[in-house]
Amino acid sequence: MSTPVITTPAAEAAVTGRAGVGRRLTSFMPVIALVVLLAALTVADPGFLTLNSLTAAARTSAPLVVLAAGATLVVLCGGIDLSIAALCSLATVFFALWLPDAGGLTTVAVIAATAAIGAVQGVAHVLLRIPSFIVTLGGMSIFSAIALVISDAGPIRVVDRDATHWLTLYVGGVVPMAFVVALLVVVVVSLVLRLTPLESWIRATGYSESAARLAGAPVDVVKIAAFTVSGACAGLAAVMLVSRNFSGSPTMADNLLLPAVAAIVVGGTAITGGHGSLWRSLAGALVVTLLRVGLPIVGVPSAYEQILYGAIIVAAVALTLDRSKVLTIK
Amino acid sequence: MTTNLSRRPEPRVPASAPALEVRGLVKHYPGVKALDGVDLVVRRNEVLGLAGENGAGKSTLLKALVGLVRPDAGEIWVRGEKVRLGSITDAANHGIGMVFQEQSLVPNLTAAENIVLGSEGPGVRHGIYRWNTLRRLAQEQLDKIGSHIDPLARTDSLTFADRQMVEIAKVLRIEERTSHPPVIILDEPTSVLESKEIETLFTQVRRLREFASVVFVSHRLDEVLDVCDRVAVLRGGRSVGEVPAAEAAPAELHRMMIGSTGSDDHYHGAAAERRDEPRRPRLVVRGLSGRSFRDVDLDVHAGEIVGIVGVHGSGREDVCRALFGAEPTTAGDVVLDGEKLDLSGTRAACAAGVGYVPAERKTEGMVGPMSVADNMTLTKQKSRCTGPVVRPGKQAKLVDGWIERLSIRTPDRGTAIQRLSGGNQQKVVLARWLVAGDVRLLLLDHPTRGLDVGARSEVYRLLRELANQGVAMVLLADSLEEAIGMSDRIVVMSDGRATTEVAAPTGDKPTPLDLVKEMV
Amino acid sequence: MTVTSPADADLEVVHARRPRPRRGVSLRDAGPPVALVVVFGVFAALSPGFRTLSNVQNVLDAAAVLTVVTCGITFVLMMGSIDLSAPGIMGASAIAVALLVANNRNDNDFGLLGVVVAVLLGAGLGCLSGLALVTLKVPSFMTTLGISAVGLGVATLMFAGVQPNVSDRMLEGLAVERFLGLAHLTWIAFACVLVGWLVQRYSRLGRYAFAIGGAEEVLALSGVRVAPYKVAVFTMAGAFYGLAGVMVTSQLGAGLVQAGKGYDFSAIAAAVVGGTLLIGGRGGILHSAVGVLLVTVLTNGLVQIGVSPYWQGGVQGLIVVAAVAAAVIPQRRRNQVTK
C-alpha cells in the first residue's frame, strides 16, 4: 500500500553541468590524494621517497589491491561484499592444509574453491533475493567458523615455500611480483569488461537494475559473476598473504575488510552502484596503504589508523553517493 | 451549462468568500507546462468535481493545494485570504487536507495512531503515549464519519475501504488546527474500491458536505456527476470550464475534457496507405491470467497497432509486462509467429524479438548516467560486437545512423542519456529495439508520457512508420484520443478482463465516448 | 448517465482475501517462541547436561550481554536501518569503564559514575552514526561500519598497550553475585528488555521508529520530521551497546578492545530470528528477546552435544541467511530490485 507521494518524479530534472563538477572532482580524488600523501610523507621524512620504501609499500599493497579490485565488481553491480576478508582468511587455511597434498596446484585449487564459494553467495543473493550485505555478512561469519574449525583456531605453518616462492620475486629486481600480479588482475579484468558487453551490463545493473532487466540485460548472471570474481580475488589475495607470512591462519586477513572497503570508496566508486572502476580501487588501495605505512612515519600512533578508516569511509561515501537514486536513506 | 472561467473573480469580502480559490496558477517542469494559469473556486459546503485527462494538470494542481508543489506563479486564496503553502503542514493549518490516491497510512501502526499522526495533541505528553486519550481522539474522528472501525486495529489488517475511512478520519484532524470548515481533497478515491464500497464512500462524501468543502477527483465521469454539485474541467493545464453536475451528462464533460478533436489530426489517418492483407496474427494470446488480470485473449497482426484502454486498475499494464516476461503469469498461451513465446523472463522475450517501452522512462526505460550509444545498444549487444568483443567503430556507425534516422537531438553519441530532453530519450529507448532489425512485436506502455506536443507527434510518426514496416504493436496510450488516433483496433479492459474489442480503421474511428461507455 | 453497467462485472472480480482486523499477536509472531520450545526440547532430549537447572541458569547468564546489545539494535532494525557499530562502541566503553573505576592503570575510582560515563560515550558514538546518516545521507551500514572503526580506534588509544584490570568491587560483583540464582548482569538484561519494551510501546520515539520502518514517506506527509528520531534511535542503540561493553568488562574483570567482537552479527541474528524484518516495520523487543534465547540455546546446546564452539558464528550466519530468506520469500516478486 502506501507509496510515497512526494517522491514521484516531480520534474524532468535535466542534469546540468553542476552535477558534472562534483563528478569530475571525485574522479580525480584518489589520484590527488595519492600525490598529496606522497608529498606529505616525503616532507615529513625525506628518506621516505626511496626505492626501498616504495617497493616495500607496493609489496604490502598487493593483497589489498586484489581484494578491493574483486569487491569493486560487486559494488559496481550495486551490492557489497563484506565477506572478502573472512573468505581470504579461510583461503589461507585452505592453502596451508592442501599444500602438502596438492603441491604446485594448490594456488589454482584455492582460487577455484574461493571462486565457487563466491558464486554460492551470488546465487543466494540472486535466487533468494536476500540483500547482498546480509548474504555476505552471513558468509563472513560462516567462513570464519569454518576456518576456525578446520585450522583448530591456530595458525598452520607452511613448510614448503616453493609453491609461493614466485610471488616473492622481483620483476627487474625492483617491482615486487605480487604487485605485478595485482596490477595484472586489475588490467585483465578491466580489459575484459571494456572489450565485452559486460561493462555495459554491469553499469546498467548498478545504475538501475530494473531498467537493465527490462532491457534484457542478464542481470542475475552478471551479479553471480561479480561475486565469483570477488571470491576468486579473495583466494588470490590469500596466496599472496601466505607467500609473505609462511603460514595460514583463520584470522589472518580479517583486518583487511575495512581497508578494502575504504580503498573502494576512496577510489570514488559509488556505493550505490554503476559509477566507478577497478582503476579507482587500485588508486584507493595505494592511498590506504600509504596511510598505513605513513602514519608511523609522521609520528601518529597506529591506533589512529582505525579512526581514520572510519572517518574516510563515511566521508568518501558521502562524497560519491548518487543521491538521486536513494530516496530514503536507511 | 458551461460557464467560462476566463474572467478573473474580484476579491470578495471574507464573509462570503469561497472556501478556496485558485487564480492563474502556473507550474513549469522542464519541457512541460503542467499548469498554465488554472483558476478554480471551491465554495463552502459543496462537493466540487475535478475532471481532466491524464496530463491535464490535475495532480499537479492538487499537490499545489496541499503545499507539495510550489507554483511558479498564481495565487491561492483561502476564505478570502491570500496564502502561501510551503508544506503539507501549512496547508493543514489553513484547513486544507488531502486523501492521496496511493494511500498514505503507516501500515504497521494502529488506526488510531495513523489518525492522529503528526498532531497527537494531548494523546502524547512529554513523548509518552497516553493510549486511552489517543484512542478517544481517534474515536471522535471516526464518529464524525460514522465509521465503526476499531481504533486499535493494526492498519494493515483493515480492508482497503476501511483504510480509506481511516484516511478521511485522519484528514479531518485538520479541523483541530483551524476553526473554519476544512477543505478535503479526495484524489481518485474510488479507483480500487468495489461498487458497494463506493456507495459507502459516496455517503461519506455527502456527509462531509455538511461541515466541509470537498474536492473530488475521479476518472469515472459518472461517479463525478453522481456525487458532485459542480464539476470543473482541466485541459492542458488550463481551466476550460465548469458545469453544474445536475444538468450535465458524461458526454458533455468528456467533450470538455478532450476539447475539439481537430487539433489532434496529426496522427489521425496517417495509416492511410497500409496494405491490408488478412493473415494469421503475429501474436496470439489465449487465456492469459496473472495477478491482476484473467483470461485475456488478444490477437495482433503484423503491421497492426492494437490499443488497450482501461481505467486505473484495469490490469492492462500488467498484461503488457506479462507479455514481456516481466510479470508472472498463472495460465495462458502466447504464440508469436507460430512459436510459443517463453514468458519466463525478459531475456527470452528479447531474444524472441519482443520489445518493451516502459511507462517509467527515467527509472525503467533508460539507464540515466550511461551514454546514448550504450543505452541504444544495451539490449542487442550483438549489433556492436564481433564475436564477444565490442567494436567501438561498429557501435559508433550504428548509433550515429540511428541518431540521424530518428533525428535524435544530442550533442553526440557519448552524451549521458539523462541530459537529453524527454522526447529524445524516448527515441533512444525505441531505437534500442530497432538497432538489430529483428523486432517483431513492440509493447508500448505510455510511450508519450511526459512528452510535449512536438515530441509526441514525432513519436507517433515513428510508431506509424514501424507499423508500416510490419512491426506488430500493443499500445497503452496516454489518452483515449491517442489510443483512437494510433490504433487499428482497440481492446477495452476492465477489472482484469478484456471485455470488448472496437475496430478503429482509418476513416471510421470510434469516438472517445464509445470507449468510455465500455470502460466503466 | 452511464452508470450501473459494471455492477455485475464487479461481483465476479477475484478479491484478495480480506484480512481480519486484529489487535494482538498473529500466527506469524508465534513462530520463534515455538521454535524456541522445540529447540529446547530437542537438546534436552539429546543431552543430559543440557537439561540441568544449572545449565538453564548458564544459558540465561550467557544471554545477558547479547540481550542488551539486541535491545539496542532492534530499534535500529525496526526503522529499516542496520547497525554494525556494536563492536566498536562496546570496545570503547569497555576500556573506558575499566579506566574510570578502580583499576591498575590509574587512580580513578568513580564507581557508578564511571559506568554512566561509559554508557554516555556509547550514546555519543551512536549519535555520530545517526548524524552521519541524516546529514551526510550515507547509508547506515556504511556509517556504522565507520563508527565501529572509530570506536575501536578510540578503544585502542585508551588501551595504550597495557590491559586495564578492574578492581572495583561493585563492577566485579555484577557478574559474580547472584539473585534468585541468576547473576546481577542477567537482571540488568531483564531490566533493559523491560525498558526497551516500555519505550517501544509507550514512547513517541519507539512508535515513530516503528512507523519509520513501516512507511517513512507517510510520516513526512503527515508533517513529522523523521531525522531527529533517527538520530535519537541510533543514540539510544549506542547507549545500549555502551552498557553491554560495561557488562563485558564486568565479566572479564578487565577492559579489552575486542570486548564487542562478533556481537553486531549475533545481535542481528537474534533480532532477525526473533521475527524482526530487516526492511523494518515489524518485530520488537520481545521478539528479539525470544530471538536471543533461541540463538543462545542453540549455541549452548550444540556445545553440550559436542559440537565445536568454533561453529558458533557459522550457525548464526546460516540462521540469519535462512531467516531473512524465509521472510523475503512470501514477498518475492519478479523484477524486484535487491541490492
A218 in B contact zone (CB under 8 Å) = yes
Q: Please name which of B99, A131, B119, A2 lies closest in space to residue C281, comparing C-alpha atoms.
A: A2
Residue A115 in this model has a pLDDT that exceeds 80: yes
Q: Is residue A61 part of a domain?
A: yes
Among B367, B383, B426, B448, pick the best mutation site for testing chain A contact (most A Cβ within 10 A). Answer: B367
SS3 at position B86 = coil
Identify the sign of the CA torsion B47, B48, B50, B51: positive
Mean pLDDT of the residues in chain B: 83
pLDDT for A268 equals 87
Strand, helix or coil for residue B346: helix
As a whole number of angstroms, the distance between CA A16 and CA A198 comes to: 28
CATH value at residue B26: 3.40.50.300
Pick from A129, A150, A264 the residue to mutate for testing the C interface (most C CBs within 10 Å).
Answer: A129
B106, A2 contact by CB (below 8 A): yes
Contact B30 A9 (CB under 8 A): no
C-alpha cell at position A235: 583466494
CA distance C284 to B438: 54
**Of C230, C205, C206, C195, residue with least CA distance to C216:** C230
In this prediction, residue B117 carries a pLDDT of 87
Residue B244 belongs to some domain of the structure: yes
Q: Does B345 fall in a domain?
A: yes
Establish if B360 belongs to a structural domain: no
> What's the mean pLDDT in A22-47?
79
Decide: residue B431, CB within 10 A, 0-12 exposed, 13-18 middle, 19+ buried. buried
CA pair distance C269, B281, nearest whole angstrom? 55
Is the domain of B91 the same as that of B106? no
Contact between A15 and B416 using a beta-carbon 8 Å cutoff = yes
Select, from the ranges A242-251, B51-60, B313-322, the one with the highest average predicted confidence (pLDDT).
A242-251
Delimit the domains of chain C by residue range. 47-305+312-317
A164 closest CA partner among A104, A208, A224, A101: A104
Non-local (6+) Cβ contacts of B439 within 8 A are B353, B354, B355, B433, B471
Q: Do residues A50 and A174 lie in contact, with contact meaning Cβ atoms separated by under 8 Å?
A: no
CB pairs under 8 A between A and C: 173
Q: Mean pLDDT, to the nearest integer, of B100-125?
A: 84
The total number of structural domains that make up chain B: 4
Residue B264's pLDDT band, with cuts at 50, 70 and 90, is very low
Nearest residue of chain A to residue C324 (CA atoms): A130
**For residues A97-132, b (16+ Cβ closer than 10 Å) or e, as one string?**
bbbeebeeebbebbbebbbebbbbbbbbbbebbbbb
Chain B nearest-CA residue for C21? B157
Beta bridge partners of B35: B27
**ipTM given for this complex:** 0.84
Last residue of a domain, one of B111, B145, B176: B176
> Among candidates C199, C230, C197, which has minimal Cα distance to C213?
C230
pLDDT in tens, A36-90: 888 888 888 888 888 888 898 999 999 999 999 999 999 999 999 999 999 999 9
Instruction: Decide if A327 touches B, using CB distance below 8 A.
Output: no
Residue of C nearest to A121 (CA): C321
* B441 Cα to chain C: minimum distance (Å): 21
Q: Report yes or no: B72 at the A interface, CB cutoff 8 Å.
A: no
Name every residue whose Cβ is closer than 8 Å to that of residue A262 and which is 6 or more positions away in sequence: A284, A288, A309, A312, A313, A316
In a domain, B28, yes or no: yes
The answer on B519 and B492 residing in a single domain is yes
- What value does the mean pLDDT take over residues A200-227? 94
Q: What's the number of domains chain A is made of?
A: 1
pLDDT(B1) > 60: no
Please, which residues 341-400 of chain B have a Cβ atom closer than 8 Å to chain A? Answer: 346-347, 349-351, 356, 358, 362-370, 374, 377-379, 381, 384-385, 388-390
Least confident piece of the model among A230-239, B140-149, C198-207: B140-149
Could you tell me if B76 and B85 are in contact, meaning their C-beta atoms sit under 8 angstroms apart? yes
Distances (CA, A) of B449 to B476, C52, C292: 10, 70, 51
* Beta strands at B296-300 and B183-187: parallel, antiparallel or unpaired: unpaired
Let me know if residue A39 belongs to a domain: no
Q: Are β-strands B489-494 and B305-309 bridged in parallel, bridged antiparallel, or unpaired?
A: parallel
Confidence category of residue C215, pLDDT binned at 50, 70, 90: confident
C168/C99 Cα distance (integer angstroms): 10
Nearest chain B residue to C198, by CA:
B128
Whether residue B349 is contained in a domain is answered as yes
Answer yes or no: is pLDDT of C233 > 50. Answer: yes
Residues B244, B204, single domain; the answer is: yes
Listed residue (C269, C309, C272, C317) closest to A141, CA to CA = C317
Task: Give me the pLDDT at residue B322, please.
Answer: 93
Same domain, B26 and B87: yes
Contact B365, B357 (CB under 8 A): yes
C contact chains, 3+ CB pairs < 8 A: A, B
Q: Taking 90 as the threshold, does the pLDDT of residue B70 lie above it?
A: no
**Greatest mean pLDDT among B35-39, B478-482, C106-110, C122-126:** C122-126
| pLDDT at residue A324 tops 90 | no
Per-window interface: A 262-321 vs B, CB < 8 A: 274-275
Average pLDDT over residues B187-200: 74
Residue A134 belongs to domain with CATH number: 1.10.3470
**A4: contact with C, CB 8 A cutoff:** yes
Select from 3.40.50, 2.60.40, 1.10.3470, 2.30.30 the CATH code of C47-305+312-317. 1.10.3470
pLDDT at B271 exceeding the cut of 50: no
Among the partner residues B100, B109, B345, nearest to C210 by beta-carbon distance: B109
pLDDT digits (tens, 9 = 90+) for B421-439: 888 999 999 999 998 888 9
- Is position A67 within any domain? yes
- Greater confidence (A320 vs C195) lies with C195
Instruction: Answer whether residue A6 shows pLDDT above 60.
Output: no
> Beta-carbon neighbour count of residue C231 at 10 Å?
20
For residue A232, pLDDT over 50 is answered with yes
- The residues pairing with B365 across neighbouring beta strands, listed in sequence order, are none
The partner residue sitting opposite A210, judged by closest CB among B68, B102, B363, is: B363
Domain span including residue B410: 368-437
pLDDT value for C291: 92
B219 close to B312: Cβ distance less than 8 angstroms = yes
Overall average pLDDT of the B3-19 stretch: 53
**Residue B513 exposure: Cα atoms within 13 Å on the Cβ side:** 14
Q: Is residue A63 one of the residues assigned to a domain?
A: yes
pLDDT at B30: 66
Torsion of CA B346, B352, B354, B358, to 10 degrees: 10
**What are the angstrom distances between the C-alpha of C248 and each of C89, C252, C255, C263?**
12, 6, 8, 11
Least confidently predicted of B186-200, B287-301, C44-58, C100-114: B186-200
Cβ separation of B29 and A11 shorter than 8 Å?
yes
| Alpha carbon distance C172, C181 (integer Å) | 17
Ramachandran category for residue A103: left, alpha or beta (phi over 0 → left; psi -120 to 50 → alpha): left
Q: Does residue B410 sit in the same domain as residue B297?
A: no
Distance, in Å, from the CA atom of B41 to the CA atom of A270, rounded to the nearest integer, reads 49
| Section C80-100 average pLDDT | 94
Residue B123 forms contact with C (CB below 8 Å): no
What is the spatial distance between Cα B398 and Cα B416, in angstroms, rounded to a whole number?
17
Residue C10: its pLDDT value, please?
A: 35
Q: In the predicted model, what is the mean pLDDT of chain A?
A: 87
Per-residue pLDDT, averaged over B73-89, amounts to: 86
CB contact set of B287 (below 8 Å; sequence gap of 6+): B295, B296, B297, B331, B332, B333
Would you place residue C187 in the very low, low, confident or very high pLDDT band (cuts 50, 70, 90)? Answer: very high
Distance from CA of C62 to the nearest CA of B (A): 33
In a domain, B268, yes or no: no
Q: Is the full-model pTM beyond 0.95?
A: no
What the block records as the C-alpha cell of C261 is 567482537
Residues A242-265 have pLDDT tens digits of 999 999 999 999 989 999 999 999
* Domain-embedded: residue A27: no
Q: Does B267 reside within a domain?
A: no
Which cell goes with C317? 550466519
Taking CA A175 as the corner, what is the angle to CA A172 and CA A176, rounded to the nearest 5 degrees? 115
Q: Which residue has the cell 480480506?
A: C18
A295 in contact with chain C, both atoms CB, cutoff 8 A? no
| CB contact (8 A) between residue B104 and residue C218 | yes
Contacts of B326 in chain C (CB under 8 A): 334-335
Q: What angle do CA A240, A246, A250 make, to 5 degrees?
A: 80
Whether residue B76 is found in the same domain as residue B5: yes
The domain in which residue A210 lies consists of 50-314
Q: Say yes or no: B488 and B425 in one domain.
A: no
* pLDDT at residue B18 in the model: 84
User: Are B412 and B485 in the same domain?
Assistant: no
In C217-318, at which residue ranges do the beta strands (DSSP E only) sit? none
Q: Quick one: average pLDDT of C49-78?
A: 92
By DSSP bridging, strand B47-51 and strand B213-217 are parallel
Give per-residue pLDDT as tens, A155-210.
Answer: 999 988 888 888 888 988 889 999 999 999 999 999 999 999 999 999 999 999 99
Q: How confident is the model at residue B192 (pLDDT cuts 50, 70, 90)?
A: low
Q: Which residue has the cell 519541457?
A: B31
User: pLDDT tens, C257-295?
Assistant: 999 988 988 999 899 888 888 777 788 899 999 999 999
Alpha-carbon span C251 to B218, nearest angstrom: 66
**Most B CBs within 10 Å: which of C217, C218, C282, C337, as the mutation test of the B interface?**
C218
SS in 3 state form for A91-124?
HHHHHHHHHHHHHHHHHHHHHHHHHHHHHHHHHH
Which residues does B203 contact at the CB level (< 8 Å), separation at least 6? none
CA distances from B151 to B142, B147, B158, B437 (A): 8, 10, 11, 60
Query: For residues C229 and A19, is the Cβ–Cβ distance under 8 A?
Result: no
- Residue among C55, C29, C88, C85 at smallest CA distance from C289: C29
B363 within domain boundaries: no
* CB distance A266 to A30 below 8 Å: yes
pLDDT at B477 over 90: no
Element (H, E) at C227: helix C227-252
DSSP for residue B157: G
Would you state the pLDDT for residue A211? 92
Residue ending a domain, among B412, B437, B462, is B437
User: Nearest chain B Cα to A17, which residue?
Assistant: B419
Could you tell me if B69 and B138 lie in one domain? no
pLDDT, position B163: 86
Whole-number Å distance between alpha carbons of C155 and B31? 56
Is A327 a domain residue?
no
Is-contact B285 B296, C-beta < 8 A?
yes
pLDDT at B204: 82
- C-alpha torsion sign, points C196, C202, C208, C210: positive
pLDDT at B4 over 80: no
Q: Identify the band that residue A154 occupies on the pLDDT scale cut at 50, 70 and 90.
A: very high
Q: What pLDDT, on a 0 to 100 scale, did the predictor assign at position A144? A: 94
Classified as helix, coil or strand, C62 is helix
Average pLDDT over residues B112-116: 90
Contact A67, A278 (CB under 8 A): no
User: pLDDT-based confidence at B85, cuts 50/70/90?
Assistant: confident
Cell 514468458 -> residue: B343
For A116-128, the pLDDT digits (tens) are 999 999 999 998 8
Q: Grid coordinates standing for A31? A: 589520484
- Residue listed under C-alpha cell 502561501: B84
Tell me what pLDDT residue C17 has: 38
